[in-house]
Structure formats: C-alpha cells, structure tokens
Amino acid sequence: MQAFDMIKIERNNKKSGVLTIFLLLIIALLTGSIKLSHAEKKDSKSVGIRTIVIDPGHGGHDQGAGGSGGSLEKDISLNFARILAKELKPDYEVVFTRNGDYQVTLTRRASVANHHRADMFISIHTGGGSRYQMDFWSIFYYQKTDQRNGGMRPEAVGPDNIQDNNQVNIQDNVEDLRLNWDHVQVRYQKKSRALAGCMKTQLAGNPEIREVTVSAAALRVLEGLDMPAIVIETGYLTNPKTEKRLNDISFLTDVAKSVKKGVDVYLTR
Ligand SMILES: [Zn+2]
C-alpha cells in the first residue's frame, strides 16, 4: 500500500469517525426529545388535565334492564357514555371501561380507572325491573354496609354485581383482596357524596327530569375505586316515557352538558 493510499484511508477513517459522532448526536437528541415529550405529557397532566373514567353499565350477554319498546340498558348506557365523552373531551382526558358490546367484570372496570389514576369515575346505568311507573333519576355513592345490599333497591345492584358475588363464592381466596378493596372507596365517601351532590344540582335543572335522588349504597362496581366515584341511573328504562327520552339524542346531549357541568363544578370547588 502506497503512502498516498494510507493518507486516503486515514481521511476516510476520520470522516467515518465524524459521521459516527454526528449519528450518535442525532440519536441522543432524538432520545432526549422523546424523553422531553414524556415529561411534557406528565407536566400537562399535573397542571390540570384531569382524567374522567366513564363506565357504561353491562354489555355483551349482560343486557341489564329492558324497555317495552325494545331498548336495552347496555345500549342506552354506552350511547349516553359516548355522548358524554364528546362533551367532556375538550377539557378532560376521557377513558372508557368498555367501548363496545362486550362483558367487562366489575373488577376490571375498577382496575381500568385505578390504572389510569383517574380523577373521577362515572358509571352509567338505568333503572329497571317491574317499576314501569317510576319516573326519577338516581345518583349513588358508595357506603359500606355490614349486610351487603341491605335496604337497597335490587335493581340498583344490577345483574353484573350479582355475577361478581357468585364469582366470590367460588373463589374464597380472593376475599381478603376484596376486603382491602372495600376500604379504598370508603376513604372517598365524603368526596363521592359531594360529587353526587354537584351532579344532582345540575341534573335537577333539566326540565325533562322530574326528580333526582342521591343515595348511599354498597355497590360492588364502586368499592375498589381509588378516586371519587358515582353511579348515575338515568331514570327507569321500564317507564315508556323515559325509554323514549333515553333514545332522544338531543335530550341526551342536554343531559351530558349538565353532567359535564357537574364535573366542572366538583373539580373547581
Ligand atoms: Zn345496570
């Protein structure tokens, strides 16, 4: 190899060395910027973008209550959840526990909310059963009772709650975990009651809603939630007048705006 070629190789080596450093710099910058965007995301959450979990009741084989016009609670709750999400999304991060027609266990619903470290959990249901003349909306927050479901309206418990009770009978070993979960929502009882109060004030302002009640109940869907949490029962689907309203998009949009206002008021108290 001639001296000239040696110099050429040396130059080439220098060139590739510079190129390597340049590439490393780009990689470092890219990695840095990715890290930065993560940090920005975290910051934006901490400076005020709150996460609201919407939990459409039932789903799949678990249809919930049924109206005489053929409406099913699982469909009404999902439809309303989507309308509510549209109202909330400009100001909040919205997470669904289900966004389709499939079954989700109560434990899974709570896990989704806890995993997202949500600021609020809103479960959507309708009333049902044989009470076709009932005409009021209900808001529930969690209160532990010694006798589970004692003194509650059975329809407020819901088929999905009953299903989970059966699971617990089969799996006694999860009882300890469940007892721990009980304590989680107990800690939020005051906050959840305040949230229910804010929601009642807003919903009661709707002229199409005759009455709104707030009740404490040992609802399984709420007990493991590590955040303020409520169940909204959007009237009795078994009441034909209510069923008609619950299929009216403009009515549901009005109600969703009221629920959004309830969320806003609670979070800015
Ligand atoms: Zn239900």
pLDDT in tens, 163-204: 333 333 334 344 445 556 667 999 999 999 999 999 999 999
Mean pLDDT of the chain: 80
Ligand 1 centroid distance, CA of 22 (Å): 60
Q: What are the beta bridge partners of residue 121? A: 53, 229
User: What's the rounded Cα separation, in Å, for the pair 229 and 159?
Assistant: 19
C-alpha 159 – ligand 1 centre gap (Å): 7
Output the pLDDT for position 227: 97
- Tokens 């807003």 — which residue? 202
Cα of 32 from ligand 1 centre, angstroms = 47
CA dist 218 and 215 (Å) reads 10
pLDDT of residue 122: 98
Backbone angles phi and psi of 221, in degrees to 5: -65, -20
A 10 A CB-CB count for 114 gives 17
- Which residues fall within 8 angstroms of residue 15, CB to CB, at 6 or more apart? none
| Distance of CA 75 from the midpoint of ligand 1 (Å) | 11
More confident residue, 178 or 241: 241
Q: How far does residue 51's CA lie from ligand 1's centre (Å)?
A: 23
Range 231-246 average pLDDT: 95
Residue 128 C-alpha to ligand 1 middle, in angstroms? Answer: 8
Q: Give the Cα separation of 252 and 86 in Å (integer).
A: 12
Residue 22 or residue 215, greater confidence: 215
63: pLDDT strictly greater than 50: yes
Cα–ligand 1 centroid distance for 7 (angstroms): 81
* Residues 50-267, CATH architecture: 3-Layer(aba) Sandwich (3.40)
pLDDT band at 255 (very low <50, low <70, confident <90, very high): very high
pLDDT at position 1, please?
Answer: 45
Nearest alpha-carbon partner for 191 in 85, 88, 118, 83: 118
Spatial distance between the Cα atoms of 234 and 124, rounded to a whole number of angstroms: 7
CA 234–ligand 1 middle distance (angstroms): 10
pLDDT tens digits for 81-90?
999 999 999 9
pTM confidence score:
0.73
In the chain, % of residues over pLDDT 70:
68
